[in-house]
Structure 1
Amino acid sequence: MPNISQLFFKSAVIWLLIGIAAGLQMGMSGNHTVIAAHAHINLLGWVTSAIFGGYYALNPAKAAKRLAFVHYAVYMLGLIVMLPSLYFMERGNMQLEPLVGIGSMVTFLGVLIFAVVMFSRESVAVRQARA
């Protein structure tokens, strides 16, 4: 499996653990004010990261490109800024709202980079090797 796939899968599991912890905290306390953060952690952190990992596992030629690692770095940076900021903003720290916005834009940039990777053509040599 390509290294980038492993990075995305390992990161996805970390986000899953964080998402489950947030869900448990809500369930135990009966306070569900962080439901949006919980959903974002699970969907953007766990699910989307795992999907990226799967895509790169199925497309090793694209996984080997430098742009795949740029995608990982930008996307994870966005999540690391956005998700904790959203969690604590929902708990009442409204001063973090600008960080949520910045993290969201960086995450979106990561998704745009993935779109470039996904829609880019493979080289002729790669296509001929598959035939």
Structure 2
Amino acid sequence: MHDIPKSFFATGAIFALIGMVWGIQMSATHDHTLSPAHGHLNLIGFVAMSIFGTYYALTPQAAAAAMSRVHFWLTSLTVVILAPGIALAIKGQTEMLAQLGSVLGVVSMGLFAWTVLRHGVGSAR
């Protein structure tokens, strides 16, 4: 199943582009206050999603499982909630979204660990 790896890679690339533009904006304004949010956007939005996409491309039996779609949407939701949540927490407005995003991130990584333990790595032999 090629749609799950493609979904992770395409979404990761979009998050990376957003992160790069945000980084340029921070550099241009000399205001790096929100760099922790920017860093989490890049780390989870690009790096983790690219690693997940690579895993699913290498392990088609895991990509074919329904849980792979749950994993994709959960990770995407994590990024969409966590990065702005960290920015809001830094600005002193609310920590609720950062906390929720953090929990979603842990669940997403736990789901990935479970998937790797269940399916292994690589094609079924």
Quote the RMSD (CA, aligned, Å). Answer: 1.6
> What is the aligned partner in structure 2 of residue 104 from structure 1?
102
CA distance in 1, matches of 2:16, 2:88: 18
TM-score normalised to the size of structure 2?
0.91
Give ranges in structure 2 of 5+ residues lacking alignment: none
Amino acid at match of 2:113: A
CA distance in 1, matches of 2:49, 2:40: 12
Q: Which runs of 4+ in 1 moved over 6 A?
A: none
CA distance in 1, matches of 2:84, 2:96: 13
Max radius of gyration: which structure? Answer: 1
TM-score normalised to the size of structure 1?
0.87
> What is the aligned partner in structure 2 of residue 18 from structure 1?
18
Q: Secondary structure at the match of 2:93?
A: helix
Q: Secondary structure at the match of 1:108?
A: helix
**CA deviations over 1:16-68 (Å, ceiling 9, x no partner):** 01110111011000011011111111111111100100000000111000011
Q: Secondary structure at the match of 1:95?
A: coil
**CA deviations over 1:57-98 (Å, ceiling 9, x no partner):** 0001110000111111111112111112212433x2x23311
